Amino acid sequence: MRNILLLVLAVLVTTIFIPIMLIQSCDVAKPKIEKQPIVESDRVVKVYIQETGKIEKLDLEEYIKGVVSGEMPASFEEEALKAQAVAARSYALSRINAFEKDGHPGHPGAELCDSVHCQVWLSKEKLGKLKSKNWMKDYWPKIEKAVDDTKGLIMTYENKPIDQPLFHSTSGGKTENSEDVFTAWVPYLRSVESPYEEEAPHLQDTQEISVVDFISKIKKKYNDCDVNRSNIKADLKILEKSEGGRILKMQVGNKVLTGREIRDLIGLRSANFKIAIAGENLTFITNGYGHGVGMSQWGANGMAKKGNTFDEILKHYYLGVEIHEME
């Protein structure tokens, strides 16, 4: 009987008590589950490529590098390139916020395109074909650094991302109020001085056209205009200028046109112009290059040469903005 009791006790120890002790003491039985950090993926932008008619998904920061390459000379100062990067990123984010769901009406499915309709974007492969080997060696790293150093930074106004970070080549000494060029009043797009543009290649240009050709262009678009070759001096009169110096209203025969209309019609570099009449020719003397609203790129480079940082440049050309990281 005693032997039977010992046998039963041995079985209980080996089959029940020992396994229970092992379960209580073994780490494997109670593994520690650590929470993995959530890593946010980089923001992606969809870009319509006009040459191929296809839409490409691009990392936002890589897209910005292509925009800076396409919109600003890489020989510019580093702080000017940084300012361009922040402006380009601000514009891209505004398009993403507005058109992320269905794309822009001009290119459905994509928030942006690679042309001046949005921002000029050049792929690294295309740059390799367009530029020299020395450019890719010396300037591409410079652009990469400018974008990387400002990664995620955008302009905000009253704690909201701005949606019109406009820029142009050369203001001609003073930028424009937005409503004088694009009709809409924008608080941060105010006319400011742009004094450091003396190195700009198109600070001042001249363009000559015959009186006959000028009248032909005018009447082709405005067939009821009575501008007359024999009375051309009296038929052309500047009526109103903007704060930045561009022509707002101009009398042409019996019609009143805007400086922008004249600029587009003749192909002038700017709507800030004077007209000289000599014999059978008109000479347009333009000041600046581009629409003149927002940041002057040559002005930004001039400010950078004077020691201004990218945020100082941006706050000069876009009144009341702050520089913040994207959320």
pLDDT in tens, 44-76: 999 999 999 999 999 999 999 999 999 999 999
Confidence of residue 20 (pLDDT cuts 50, 70, 90): very low
Residue found under tokens 């110096």: 245
Pair (262, 310) in one structural domain: no
Angle formed at CA 197 by CA 195 and CA 199, multiple of 5 degrees: 145
The answer to the question of residue 87 being in a domain is yes
The answer to the question of residue 159 being in a domain is yes
- Range list of H helices, the chain: 2-12, 18-25, 60-71, 78-99, 124-130, 133-138, 140-149, 178-182, 211-221, 232-235, 259-266, 297-305, 310-317
pLDDT in tens, 99-123: 999 999 999 999 999 999 899 999 9
pLDDT of residue 7: 44
Pair (76, 183) in one structural domain: yes
The answer to the question of residue 80 being in a domain is yes
Rounded-to-integer distance, Cα 168 and Cα 154, Å = 18
pLDDT, mean of residues 126-133: 92
Pair (215, 279) in one structural domain: yes
Q: Are the beta carbons of 177 and 242 closer than 8 angstroms?
A: yes
pLDDT of residue 119: 95
pTM score > 0.95 for this model? no
Give me the helix-helix angle, 310-317 and 78-99, nearest 10°: 60
- Domain tally for the chain? 2
The answer to the question of residue 270 being in a domain is yes
The answer to the question of residue 32 being in a domain is no
pLDDT, mean of residues 169-191: 96
Pair (193, 219) in one structural domain: no
Rounded-to-integer distance, Cα 302 and Cα 190, Å = 19
Rounded-to-integer distance, Cα 258 and Cα 40, Å = 49
- pLDDT of 42 strictly over 80: no
Reading the block at residue 151, the tokens are: 């990664």
Q: Output the average pLDDT for the chain.
A: 88
Pair (191, 282) in one structural domain: no
Q: Are the beta carbons of 256 and 249 closer than 8 angstroms?
A: yes
The answer to the question of residue 1 being in a domain is no
Confidence of residue 327 (pLDDT cuts 50, 70, 90): confident
Pair (180, 244) in one structural domain: no
Pair (64, 107) in one structural domain: yes
Reading the block at residue 161, the tokens are: 């991302």
Contacts of 75 (CB under 8 A, 6+ apart): 139
pLDDT, mean of residues 183-204: 96
Pair (177, 310) in one structural domain: yes
The answer to the question of residue 108 being in a domain is yes
Domain of residue 312, residue span: 44-199+292-325
Rounded-to-integer distance, Cα 315 and Cα 311, Å = 6
Rounded-to-integer distance, Cα 103 and Cα 47, Å = 9
Pair (184, 316) in one structural domain: yes
Task: Give the residue from 286, 285, 69, 281 showing the smallest Cα distance to 170.
Answer: 286
Confidence of residue 311 (pLDDT cuts 50, 70, 90): very high
pLDDT of residue 263: 96
